[in-house]
Structure 1
């Protein structure tokens, strides 16, 4: 197993403390919490705001994807902590704007601002891991972070459902503002993992040209597109499941959170397993097996839905095995992608995150266009994109591309 890289500066403030991993985990969980906590409220919000509520997810993902393209080079030039602090302030402002919104246009606009801040959390967390640890150790740390960050999507829908018992959906966004404020003060406990001697001395414009270099890096793009395709499927479930579970299968808003939590428990379990497996097998092998399992589960799910067989139980089981593979795919893809480009880890993390979370735009638009009142649309989106992710990890395809490149 690779040993962790040495600390990149002799300054004692650069050494990760006891709170390093927990804070990074919550930063990575920002995206999940920002969306998952109000999932039980989506049917009610659609009625109150008289619009397509999936657009609140689309708006968030547009802001999330676009902002990372800027924050990546910014963090390579000015360090990790400055963009994180600015981002958390924007998140709090956006959350308060959402809480005060009474129209669909207003809340979608504030969701974009909220996302501009929220995106710094997972992006900076991934870059800090790459700053501090080598490839295999980074995969183990990322798997550990996923175990901790999985608390957010478990607690989020459950908490959102309980808030709706005593208040309205507006209170959910006030709650997010409070969480953002706590995280703003917590980030002062983090070290600066990107010291002055490692920072880019290029202009921001030159730094943006790093994206062209990354897009031309076949190995980096292979892993990035793998997790991107997989997350199209993930967001199809996240955005589509409230209507499917609550409206189609008549699950209560409070019980919806438990069905969502089942999948996250699976993710946590496989993330724990992944921490061991990355020390025994190479990352490509783990990705090949996990994407294959995900694809198989998704295809079986689609068949069951088309045959109208098994009802809610068939959907829950199919989603469980597809979603749980996130414990392997996200951590291993990220570690493998960033390992090739340590000198521009911030830009690489930003591009990866932009494509990964921006992929949800595809999911929400497809759900809006084809309808999400039944499980069919959600299921075929999941099946198609998990298949694409699995194909990317096939050795014959990768070897052929390398021969063509040569």
Structure 2
């Protein structure tokens, strides 16, 4: 692996240590979502709201994260990576504790929005730190390895959430999340160095940030690539937000069975990310990206047919979901690496745009599962629609499907 900025502080001595540390940070927003997931129906019952209202607490966090990234990205380019990260972790702890005592669904939605804004610091700075130290295929490989750690959240978080629910209810989940934030803040304070050297930081204030965003917005190819993780996140969040209602209420699975299901599908996400990491130095990232989306679209169309007809029952839905998610790990890492390669000189701001689009697109699309009834057909249709939109963007706004396009991105 190459380090394009050898003057930056070295920090952890191995790439494995970097991935574990950055992965833990990047996984905090995912844990904040997935740990809370098994208790989602209980939130609706306890706070006297509908299924769609309960799902809104998840979408609110995504929207808040989208807003937060737009602020944190330029700040991390101006002041370095550590200060925004530490402030974000502190905010995560405070909002988690306030969620514990939220009296109404409106208050909880508002707190989750603010929590998403603070959590954005973890996602933005983790990606920017990788770009500070790695470039090109090396960055894509590191991002794929990052997906391994992030992918552990679907394996562990619902199980932990179910255990916490047994003695602390849905409110106890936020106590545990606050504790996780405290631990990560201590580790960051003691171990993580500043990776953005002073001479590479941007000068100025709001005007500089706006000029940076203007540069990125004018780059249509960057925007196309940066939006693909958003459609991918919409696929995952449509599954995440719809699955408790589909499998626990629709198919009658217990909390333990649901956690096992989530773990099996988490394996699909992790495995695809690791296959991508192994292939990315031999196959161009854009080729992996376009192949994954085409195959994923075929499986998603099959899943829609299965849920519409009822063919195969719950087993058919489970197999179809696994196959769709098995190609998801190849989308965000390759798309993000390609997008960041175009604007490495302002990695924080570029990461902010990617993060804002990721959470913003997912926050707008995933609630449609609840709007359409939180059924298996609603969930699979929204997932398939998200993949179709990603394919259209890739085909129209980039040369990925044109002759030689894989070498010009």
- Please tell me whether residue 77 in structure 1 is matched to residue 75 in structure 2: no
Aligned partner of residue 273 in structure 1, secondary structure = helix
Question: Any residues of structure 2 matched to 1:2-401 within 5 Å, and which?
Answer: 3-9=1-7, 13-18=9-14, 19-51=17-49, 52-188=53-189, 189-372=191-374, 374-394=375-395, 398=399
Counterparts of 2:206 and 2:200, CA distance in 1? 16
Relative to the length of structure 1, the TM-score reads: 0.94
Counterparts of 1:38 and 1:312, CA distance in 2? 24
Query: Structure 1 stretches (4+) deviating beyond 4 angstroms?
Result: 399-402
Counterparts of 1:42 and 1:119, CA distance in 2? 22
Closer/same/farther in 2, CA of residues 129 and 47 from structure 1, 3 Å limit:
same
Closer/same/farther in 2, CA of residues 163 and 399 from structure 1, 3 Å limit:
closer
Aligned partner of residue 201 in structure 1, secondary structure = coil
Counterparts of 1:249 and 1:115, CA distance in 2? 31
Equivalent pair of 1:245/1:251 in contact (CA under 8 Å) = yes
Backbone CA RMSD of aligned residues: 1.9
The alpha carbon displacement at 1:396 in A equals 9.6
Counterparts of 1:364 and 1:325, CA distance in 2? 19
Equivalent pair of 1:135/1:336 in contact (CA under 8 Å) = yes
Counterparts of 1:133 and 1:221, CA distance in 2? 21
Closer/same/farther in 2, CA of residues 164 and 396 from structure 1, 3 Å limit:
closer
In the other structure, the counterpart of 2:406 is none
Instruction: In structure 2, list runs of 5 or more residues that go unmatched.
Output: 404-409
Equivalent pair of 1:92/1:177 in contact (CA under 8 Å) = yes
Closer/same/farther in 2, CA of residues 53 and 6 from structure 1, 3 Å limit:
same
Aligned partner of residue 114 in structure 1, secondary structure = helix
1:349-368 C-alpha deviation (Å, 9 max, x unpaired): 01101111122222343123
Equivalent pair of 1:287/1:328 in contact (CA under 8 Å) = yes
Equivalent pair of 2:242/2:370 in contact (CA under 8 Å) = no
Counterparts of 1:113 and 1:184, CA distance in 2? 18
Out of 211-220 and 61-70, give the one that drifted further. 211-220
The alpha carbon displacement at 1:344 in A equals 0.9
1:73-123 C-alpha deviation (Å, 9 max, x unpaired): 000000000000000000000100111112111211111121121111111
The alpha carbon displacement at 1:28 in A equals 1.1
Closer/same/farther in 2, CA of residues 167 and 15 from structure 1, 3 Å limit:
closer
Equivalent pair of 2:224/2:397 in contact (CA under 8 Å) = no
Counterparts of 1:279 and 1:141, CA distance in 2? 11
Equivalent pair of 2:231/2:362 in contact (CA under 8 Å) = no
Counterparts of 1:222 and 1:62, CA distance in 2? 20
Closer/same/farther in 2, CA of residues 143 and 400 from structure 1, 3 Å limit:
closer
The alpha carbon displacement at 1:236 in A equals 0.9
Counterparts of 1:379 and 1:15, CA distance in 2? 43
Counterparts of 2:400 and 2:314, CA distance in 1? 41
